[in-house]
Every structure is written in C-alpha cells, then in structure tokens.
Amino acid sequence: MNRASRGSTVAVAAVIAVLMSGCAPQVITPPAETVTATPMENRDVVPSPPTDPKPESVWPLTGLSADGVSAEDLSRIAIAVKIDDNIHARPQQGLEFADIVFEEYLGRKGATRLMAVFHSAWPDTVGSTRSLRPMDPNIFGSFWGPIAFSGAASGPLRDARALDQVLFAEDLRNCPKGFPLRSDKVRPYKTYVRLTEIAACSVGTNVQPASQQFDFAYPADQGTAVLDGTPVNAISVEFTNYAHPNWKWDEASGLWQRYEFTKPHMTQGGVQITATNIVILRVVVTWKYRDDPESIMVVDHGTGYVAAGGRYAEIRWSKADRRDTFHLFTLEGEPVYLAPGNTWVELLPQSGTGEVQYLRFDDYVITTSK
C-alpha cells in the first residue's frame, strides 16, 4: 500500500524484524583481500532522511499538531454536549470549536440533534443544549467521557445509567454550575453548558483521557478520499423535510462549508461551520420508545462514505460494542485514513424511519427504502 506516514505500524514491524535478527548467531568471515577505505573528502554526501510529516505530538481526536501543548491538556477528558439544530436554536454558541460532531435523526417531524465532542478546544460556554437520546451512550462510549444535556425521557435515561455512562444534566441537578441559563432565550433553548464546570464535576467518576478515534494520513493528501475518491463539489444529506444540511467544498480554505438548506450555518460568533472530513454512516433506526427513535450504532458491518479534499469514497464500518471505536474500511478492506482536522459524522438512516432519506453527491442521488 503506497501511503505516506500512516501511523507507526510499518516502523514497529521493521524494529521487531531488526531485533529478531540480532538474536541469531552470526559467523564473521575475514575478507579475502585488503580493502582501502575511500578518503572522507572523496565520498558522496549521504542524503538526510526525509522529514516525517507527522508532528511529534498530536491531538487525538483531530490528528492536528499538539507540539508545545502541555501533557495535562493532552490528557484531559473529551466532553460531549447535546446541541439542538432546530431553526429556533440556531445560531449555536461554541459549536465551531468541536473536534467531532455526530448528527442524529430524531423523527420525520423534527430537526436533527447534534452530539458535539470537545477536547482540543474548550470554549467557555456551549449551547443551547437539549435532551439525551437512546443512541448517545453507544455513540460516545469509546470516548470514556461525560455527556452533558438538559434532560431526558425516563426510558433513555434509565438505559444510559445502566450502561454506567457518566451523565450531567440540568434536570439531574448534579452539576448546577455547569448549566448557565441565558436570560435572552426562552425554554427550551435557554440552557447552555460550561465545559470547565462539567470537567470539574467529572472528577472521581469513571471518565478517562480522550484517545484516538480515527486514523489520520500524514500528509493529508495521502488520505483515503483524496487518493482514491471521486471529485465532488456539494454533498446534500436530507434527513427529513425539516433537516436538510448541505456541504460545499471550498478550494481556497480546503474545507467543507456547512449550509442549512441554502443558508450558511453560522454560529453566534459569526463563524460559518466547516469540516475537514465528512463521514456518512448509514444506520438502521428502531423505535424501542415511541417518539424517540434510536440509531443502531453497534454493528458487525455497515455502509457509508467519507469525504475530504473535495473528493468522496464509499466505505464500510463496524463497531463491536459501545466501548469500541468506529472502524472504517475501504471496499477492499483496508483502513480508512482521514485528513488531520475536525470531523462531522452524519448518521443517516438507511431503514426504519417510515420515510425516504436522500443523499446527493453533486447530481448523483442515493435514496433509501422505508
């Protein structure tokens, strides 16, 4: 596989081979003739080894350089915040700082819900925040961090607690300083989250430092979509008539720009949402609780797509259990490599919704059955 600096797998194998060869006995035979060394001044200059494009230290959730970052910051927890994407909830605050965002289907009459994961940057306040949903513990289990939300129905809350998921919510009143209220907003859009307070409330729970979730390519142009993908300028993900996000490739910035229908998706800071990578995972939707759909996240094999660098490629994915990471593979079974940067994961239903979802790559349209 002709890829540049994709992790340390090849290097580790080479070291093991050298060490194993060093254990074997060697027979040294003296040369049959005398060899005169070439004078130093006449030798060719040995070229320097190529510079490894991977930084010495990287943020685990983005793969971006963390050179100069303290060990304390690198080892902090990842925090997930449930954020509404309803038209009344936009523009959101702090969403542009998320390392990874998962977009969830909530039903045919609703907008989508976002699970925004923060690690490399902790804005002071994020929101507005909304309720926990059935699939959230399975989405976030591999991050080993807390989920912050405003409230939850009794069924999903009971299930999440049974899974030993660390939860903080306004309704639970277990981290009161972590949920400031905006006086200029109305219910249910006035509850926000203060990340430093959630981190403080997590001390003593079973949270763990954030770890890598995806594989990254170094340099970025060696990523799977860039090397093997099809050029695309626009990606449209139609969850429902009320939730129709679009992504447009911006060559100048090298990023995907997000739109809600035809309008740029802006934050309260006046920044348009962008992504380095878009991962689209096709999911089966079930209805354990009425009016509370669940996207099934633990699967042996699933289908999907990855987009980066103005190109997209079809992939396969799996997740063995809720504590397992998402494993992305090419159609040939090789690991998928993303470009270093932030990632949006679109959890697009492929069945179980009772309606048709649409996925478009420019003029190429993919539909799903009910």
Q: What is the pTM of this model?
A: 0.86
| pLDDT, tens digit, 9 for 90 and up, residues 192-244 | 999 999 999 999 999 999 999 999 999 999 999 999 999 999 999 999 988 99
Domains and CATH numbers, the chain: 71-202 (3.50.90.10), 215-367 (3.50.90.10)
Residue 82 forms beta bridges with which residues?
A: 115
Could you tell me if 227 and 175 are in contact, meaning their C-beta atoms sit under 8 angstroms apart? no
Of 228, 227, 216, 225, nearest to 247 (Cα)?
225
Q: Looking at per-residue confidence, does 185 or 23 come out higher?
A: 185
Q: 147-149 and 167-169 as β-strands: parallel, antiparallel, unpaired?
A: parallel
For residue 288, give the amino acid letter.
K
DSSP string, 127-180: E-B----TTHHHHHGGGT--EEES---HHHHHHHHHTT--EEETTTTSSGGG--
pLDDT, average across residues 32-58 = 53
CA atoms within 13 Å, Cβ hemisphere of 36: 3
| pLDDT, tens digit, 9 for 90 and up, residues 127-186 | 999 999 999 999 999 999 999 999 999 999 999 999 999 999 999 999 999 999 999 999
User: Is the pLDDT confidence value at 252 over 80?
Assistant: yes
Q: 343-351 and 100-104 as β-strands: parallel, antiparallel, unpaired?
A: parallel
| pLDDT, tens digit, 9 for 90 and up, residues 337-363 | 999 999 999 999 999 999 999 999 999
